């Protein structure tokens, strides 16, 4: 498949795109808003001539935040346009940068030549920075036509994804050849990009900028204050975060087993996607005394589950808990960011499906900061062990912080690489 055929198929598939938007809007009404932006129409006024950063959704937006702040500091004369594809990503961007006058935001239009051209005509960036692996052939080609260098930042590419791209070499090779910088997390991923067609001189191993996460000194203070408000300083609290469909039942089964030994244990359950908040609440409330974080009511001694149904609080809720399980890993989704709880010195648990974070998982596992489980029994056993052996929990937490510190510096290497592409 080449880019012409891809574009034709994309146009033919637009009715399905519209249907998908409609179906998603039934669960998340925000998908029905700002539809024009998705086609390059009704875009907000954008100050041209700056840097364009694309972060597809919430996770990428959070990962991009330190880079964006550093770019604001390095280039005080440039505006930064931050795009995403989801309402939750949009909310996170506005929460992170709503008070920064040089940050401007809209949805990235669909990958259609005319929609991409409309967006670029409005933004006219000097540099495009795409987070992780959100590769859109027409957007990249339209940038190349205009002489706009495109960088892929904090890039990752699993073996499974590489096989998928390789099946469409006629589309993938020209697209990667048009990119000016591919800043990858590991040498393994660098070689995958080279084999797919990226120019070797444009591929650099910079490491993962997620290791450069900095924790606000007030975050643990606020977390402890909340535990005091709940009168739960001595109560075991564990969190299962970024869970996907099919995982919540396993986690609740583990919590039931845990309660047989520690009847005062509290589970903080945080679904990955907001449209699942209500259904997961119903699942929890059918089995346990459950309180919703969004309701604002304090947790009492009788509550067994706190549903984390707010946006932008995940790092804070990790700080509130004693032990962290990171979801997307009991089902074959590839896992989520293991480094956030590690940075807070929390022992980290996950399922076996970590193909999106293999190198990071290996570092944490070998460093003694990560334990993987397969099912409810294994999860309950590990949480119980860490409750009953606090020295083991402390050791795992300290190991996570050590791994974080040993691998920092990726952000500076990335910024240096981006600096070579800016013509100032």
Paired residues of 89 in beta bridges? none
How many whole angstroms separate alpha carbon 155 and alpha carbon 17? 27
Residues contacting residue 409 through CB under 8 Å, at least 6 positions apart? 207, 211, 212
Helix extents (H) in 152-310: 159-166, 169-177, 187-196, 218-229, 248-259, 277-285
Starting at the earlier edge strand, list the strands of the sheet with 181-184. 103-107, 80-84, 51-54, 127-131, 150-155, 181-184, 203-205
- Alpha carbon distances (Å) from 306 to 328, 340, 421: 19, 20, 47
- Alpha carbon distances (Å) from 264 to 97, 248, 301: 39, 20, 7
Residue 123's SS3 state is helix
How many whole angstroms separate alpha carbon 150 and alpha carbon 144? 8
Residue 60 annotated to the active site: yes
Cα torsion 330, 332, 337, 339: sign: positive
Of 37, 60, 132, 178, which residue is the catalytic one? 60
Catalytic residue positions, numbered: 60
């Amino acid at each position: 498949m080449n880019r012409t055929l891809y574009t034709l198929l994309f146009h033919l598939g637009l009715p399905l795109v519209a249907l998908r938007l409609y179906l998603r809007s039934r669960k998340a009404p925000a998908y029905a808003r700002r539809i024009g932006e998705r086609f390059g129409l009704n875009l907000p006024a954008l100050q041209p001539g700056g840097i364009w950063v694309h972060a597809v959704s919430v996770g990428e937006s959070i990962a991009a935040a330190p880079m964006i702040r550093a770019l604001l500091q390095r280039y005080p004369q440039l505006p930064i346009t931050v795009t995403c594809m989801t309402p939750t990503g949009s909310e996170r961007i506005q929460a992170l940068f709503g008070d920064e006058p040089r940050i401007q935001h809209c949805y990235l239009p669909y990958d259609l030549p005319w929609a991409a051209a409309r967006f670029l005509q409005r933004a006219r960036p000097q540099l495009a920075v795409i987070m992780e692996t959100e590769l859109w052939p027409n957007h990249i080609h339209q940038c190349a036509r205009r002489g706009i260098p495109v960088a892929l930042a904090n890039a990752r590419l699993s073996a499974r994804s590489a096989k998928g791209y390789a099946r469409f070499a006629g589309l993938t090779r020209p697209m990667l050849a048009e990119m000016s910088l591919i800043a990858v997390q590991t040498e393994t991923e660098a070689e995958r990009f080279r084999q797919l067609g990226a120019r070797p001189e444009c591929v650099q191993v910079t490491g993962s900028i997620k290791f450069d996460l900095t924790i606000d000194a007030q975050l643990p203070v606020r977390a402890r204050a909340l535990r005091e408000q709940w009168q739960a300083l001595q109560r075991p609290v564990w969190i299962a975060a970024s869970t996907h469909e099919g995982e919540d039942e396993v986690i609740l089964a583990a919590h039931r087993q845990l309660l047989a030994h520690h009847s005062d244990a509290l589970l903080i359950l945080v679904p990955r996607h907001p449209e699942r908040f209500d259904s997961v609440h119903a699942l929890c409330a059918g089995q346990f005394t459950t309180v919703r974080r969004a309701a604002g009511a304090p947790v009492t001694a009788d509550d067994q589950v706190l549903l984390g149904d707010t946006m932008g609080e995940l790092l804070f809720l990790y700080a509130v808990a004693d032990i962290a399980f990171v979801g997307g890993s009991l089902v074959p989704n590839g896992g989520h960011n293991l480094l956030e709880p590690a940075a807070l010195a929390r022992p980290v648990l996950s399922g076996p499906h970590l193909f999106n974070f293999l190198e990071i998982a290996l570092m944490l596992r070998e460093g003694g900061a990560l334990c993987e489980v397969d099912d409810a029994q294994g999860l309950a056993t590990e949480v119980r062990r860490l409750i009953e052996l606090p020295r083991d929990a402390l050791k795992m937490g300290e190991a996570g912080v050590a791994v974080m510190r040993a691998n920092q510096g990726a952000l500076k290497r990335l910024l240096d690489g981006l600096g070579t592409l800016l013509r100032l």
